[in-house]
Amino acid sequence: MTISIRHAALAALCLTLPAYAGAQGAPPAPPPLADYFVPATAAPKAPDADGFLQRWLLLEPIVKPNRSNTGFTEAYVRAAFAASLPQGPPMAVPRDGEAAKIAAAPRWHALDATRFDAKLFNLAQSLGKPVYGVIFWAVTVVEAPREMRGVRLAVGSNSASMWWVNGAEAAGLYGDRRMVMDDVLSRPLTLRKGRNVIRGAVINGPGLSDFCVRLLDANGQPIRDIVTTTK
Amino acid sequence: MKHTVLAALGLCFAAAPAAAQLAGEPFIHDPSTITLSDGKYYTFGTRGGGLVSDDCWTWHSGGERPGGGVAPDVIRIGDRFYVAYAVGGGGMNGGHASLVKVMWTRTLDPKSPAFGYHDVGVVASSDGVEGADAIDPAFLLADGRLWLSYGTYFGAIRMVELDPKTGGRLAGNQPVDVAIDMEATALLFRDGWYYLLGTHGTCCDGPNSSYNIRVGRSRTPTGPFVDHLGVPLLKGGGKLVVAGHGRHYGAGHFGLLDLGDGVEKMSMHYEADMDRSGRSVLAIEPLLWRDGWPVGGENLVAGTYEVQSERGGALQLAVDDTRIAFDARASFRAKPDAPVGPIANQTLAQDMASWPKGPTAVDLGDYMIRPHQQWTIAPAPGGGGAFGAPYYSIVIAGTSRALAVAGDDVVTVPAFTGAPEQLWRIDQLIDGTYRIAPKGAGGASPARALVAIGRSTAALVRFDPASPTGRWSFQRP
């Protein structure tokens, strides 16, 4: 979720008032990446207690200016994602540090979120990258101990996002979205025994980009007997 | 003649304002908690100034709040009115460095010699890069402790504790994150629960705003706050309280207006009043409580109703029933395969043939779908209102025979004229039923209301919130 501006009439006011920090001296340093992410390790990572997936390959933001999120219709979002990054084979996974093959050559980062959600805004902020008017891509690999039927991918994102499981489109969150856990659930899908690839993209204009993803079983309960990797 | 009157009434009803529409110039964004000071009600919004009203229905520009900035809140503690407001923050593409300041005055009436703000100072801040934006403060005084929530969609909603003696931040107190993805928060305390209300959705885009008010609750003021599904507000949860409806789009910035006697109202702004060029306006609507959760209520919608007492008994003209021609013995003896067909309800003409022409008493009876038991109720054009509810006319459907006050009695008079004694204040109670009181029966808490003092007798007496006898429901006839 974001806003065209919190108080539209205050646009001028915001421009004329000195920033609080600025009035105190040097601008404050942004929170360090470690407040939100730690580097992924070689060991597989289990979901958190509520089943949220915390290991992700996250691509540095791709600039896509949008002054407002109210234009995030399905058609717009779908086209924006398609144009932002060429997709390889459905089961392919980028490597940590690999540069995407687009003009700006953003890099992939293998990270573990320290919270239930992946705070993309803070990732970009800590890397000194653009935080507004951006598209983020995310990939994780879910290792399932057996075939699991009737599974639903449960997603919340700020703002719009789309998600694919093993190359098949699973969920779309359109419009000016705020991040709510279990906001949109996919239709029932099947996790293969072994390796499954979840891929997602999040677009934001002036909002605070983040997402949360978990997998729910046929009874709506979070699945925790899986692990995530980046391979 | 009768048809002419009815036609006029029909036109009036068609032109009646929406039930949530206040009078005057109620233009505001981010209204503070409505506060009574020196006999007038005040609310302040983003930027300076505010609105003032004598009756919480008609609002005009008024009040003075220096400091500018956004989204203030007001609380009265002892002989002081504390005002919290934010300077800075609330931006787009950045602009999240902000200060929440507090000041106090002994009156909100700028004409009073006691008026004058005293600065307390900064009680919360955000540096522009941390995950919070220190705007939209909201007070809560509970169990002698003063709490302040603040924040917006940029990061966390935070809670700090203030000193109720000074309005300043308690020494050593640290902010606690209590929610995300909210703004314009408000706090309530009821039956041992702390309620955190906040606004979700898109702001400030007129009829394209999706603003809606949500709530979570906690046993402690610093959380964890969860919604009715158990979803933490720190993970985006929030039970819906009220959203846009009718001609009003985008409900935001909750404030409690507790009138006592089991009547609670909520103030808010709507992002767009479509009957006022889509401008942001103040609204005051009923607040209900169900299963320990606040729920948005509704002013009575214009229509024709059976008016049923919670004691049991429908409000009616005290006239003789006219039988509907019917052979009960033949009906019972009819064979299953005997032909059936419709029988008309009793018509108004059939029923009213025996009615007195002058003022007529009312009483309570078993509802029998008779015209003398069916009331057309609608906001009275030009009749004003009080505390967010319009004054209503209550007439026998299809006539202009109006419910009216006659001294200590309640009667019907042959014609509705719009006189004050024919206007009624209908407030929804927190359980969803309604209180019916005559216009001018007092301020926030009317001195008398329509009460079923007997199984079949209604009278204007003091309303007892603990008794069902003064509660009414409106059923479609």
pLDDT tens digits, residue range B208-233?
A: 999 999 999 999 999 999 999 999 99
DSSP string for B184-214: EEEEEEETTEEEEEEEES--SSGGG---EEE
Same-domain status, B312 and B263: no
Cβ contact A66:A77 at 8 Å: no
B127 to A9: CB separation less than 8 angstroms, yes or no: no
* pLDDT exceeds cutoff 50 at A19: no
**Does residue B465 lie in a domain region?**
yes
Q: Domain containing B311 — which CATH number?
A: 2.80.10.50
Higher confidence at residue A8 or residue B353? B353
Same-domain status, B127 and B239: yes
Torsion angle defined by CA atoms of residues B427, B433, B437 and B443, in that order, rounded to the nearest 10 degrees? -40
Last residue of a domain, one of B261, B280, B296: B296
Mean pLDDT of B93-104: 91
Burial of B345 (0-12, 13-18, 19+ CB in 10 A): middle
CA distance A146 to chain B (A): 29
Separation in Å, CA A186 to CA A119, A125, A203, A216, A231: 22, 30, 19, 10, 24
B128 to A21: CB separation less than 8 angstroms, yes or no: yes
**Does residue B5 lie in a domain region?**
no
* pLDDT exceeds cutoff 90 at A10: no
* pLDDT exceeds cutoff 80 at A27: no
What percentage of residues in chain A have a pLDDT greater than 90?
84
Residue B450's SS3 state is strand
Residues on chain A touching B127 (C-beta within 8 angstroms): 20-21, 28
CA distance B287 to chain A (A): 25
What domain range is B282 assigned to?
20-296
Same-domain status, B314 and B254: no
> What pLDDT, on a 0 to 100 scale, did the predictor assign at position B312?
93
Q: Domain containing B136 — which CATH number?
A: 2.115.10.20
Question: What is the C-alpha separation between B474 and A138, in angstroms, rounded?
Answer: 55
Residue A108 tokens read as: 């992939």
Same-domain status, B133 and B268: yes
Of A28, A117, A156, the CB nearest to B127: A28
Task: Specify the pairing of strand B374-379 against strand B360-365.
Answer: unpaired
Same-domain status, B357 and B230: no
Same-domain status, B286 and B352: no
Q: How confident is the model at residue B391 (pLDDT cuts 50, 70, 90)?
A: very high
- Closest Cα partner for B46 from B82, B80, B87, B18? B87
A29 interfacial to chain B (CB closer than 8 Å): yes
Count other Cβ atoms within 10 Å, centred on residue B408. Answer: 9
Which residues is A213 bridged to in the sheet? A155
Whose tokens are 């995407």? That residue is A100
B97 to A22: CB separation less than 8 angstroms, yes or no: yes
> What pLDDT, on a 0 to 100 scale, did the predictor assign at position B88?
87
A183 interfacial to chain B (CB closer than 8 Å): yes
Instruction: Tell me which chain A residue has its CA closest to the CA of residue B155.
Output: A208
Same-domain status, B150 and B271: yes
Same-domain status, B229 and B318: no
* Strand ranges inside B18-93, DSSP E: 23-24, 35-37, 40-44, 50-53, 58-61, 70-77, 80-88
Enumerate long-range contacts of B296-300, CB under 8 Å, 24 or more apart: B296/B213, B296/B241, B296/B242, B296/B251, B296/B266, B297/B428, B297/B432, B298/B19, B298/B428, B299/B19, B299/B20, B299/B388, B299/B389, B299/B390, B299/B426, B299/B428, B300/B19, B300/B377, B300/B389, B300/B392, B300/B426, B300/B428, B300/B434, B300/B474
**Does residue B11 lie in a domain region?**
no
> What pLDDT, on a 0 to 100 scale, did the predictor assign at position B443?
77
**Does residue B330 lie in a domain region?**
no
Same-domain status, B369 and B459: yes
Catalytic-residue membership of B30: yes
Same-domain status, B310 and B267: no
Instruction: Tell me which chain A residue has its CA closest to the CA of residue B30.
Output: A7
Instruction: Tell me which chain A residue has its CA closest to the CA of residue B126.
Output: A20
How many contacts, defined by CB atoms under 8 Å, are there between A and B? 133
A114 interfacial to chain B (CB closer than 8 Å): no
- A159: preceding bond cis by omega (within 30 degrees): yes
**Does residue B133 lie in a domain region?**
yes
* pLDDT exceeds cutoff 60 at A12: no
Residue B14's SS3 state is helix
**DSSP percent split of chain A into helix, strand, coil, nearest 5:** 15, 35, 50
Question: What is the C-alpha separation between B128 and B150, in angstroms, rounded?
Answer: 15
pTM value is 0.91
Same-domain status, B170 and B144: yes
What are the structural domains of chain A? Answer: 8-229 (2.60.120)
Q: How many domains does chain B have?
A: 2
**Does residue B306 lie in a domain region?**
yes
Instruction: Tell me which chain B residue has its CA closest to the CA of residue A1.
Output: B201
Q: How confident is the model at residue B441 (pLDDT cuts 50, 70, 90)?
A: low
**Does residue B63 lie in a domain region?**
yes
Residues on chain B touching A176 (C-beta within 8 angstroms): 201-202, 210
What does the pLDDT look like over B47-89, one tens digit per residue? 877 999 999 999 999 999 998 888 999 999 999 999 999 998 8
**Does residue B12 lie in a domain region?**
no
Catalytic-residue membership of B321: no
* pLDDT exceeds cutoff 80 at A17: no
Question: What is the C-alpha separation between B408 and B411, in angstroms, rounded?
Answer: 10
A13 to B68: CB separation less than 8 angstroms, yes or no: yes
Question: What is the C-alpha separation between B96 and B90, in angstroms, rounded?
Answer: 6
* pLDDT exceeds cutoff 80 at B92: no
Instruction: Tell me which chain A residue has its CA closest to the CA of residue B203.
Output: A3
Same-domain status, B219 and B307: no
Torsion angle defined by CA atoms of residues B326, B327, B329 and B331, in that order, rounded to the nearest 10 degrees? -70
Residues on chain B touching A3 (C-beta within 8 angstroms): 92, 153, 202-205
A178 to B236: CB separation less than 8 angstroms, yes or no: yes
A12 interfacial to chain B (CB closer than 8 Å): no
What percentage of residues in chain A have a pLDDT greater than 70?
89
Question: What is the C-alpha separation between B401 and B391, in angstroms, rounded?
Answer: 17
A190 interfacial to chain B (CB closer than 8 Å): no
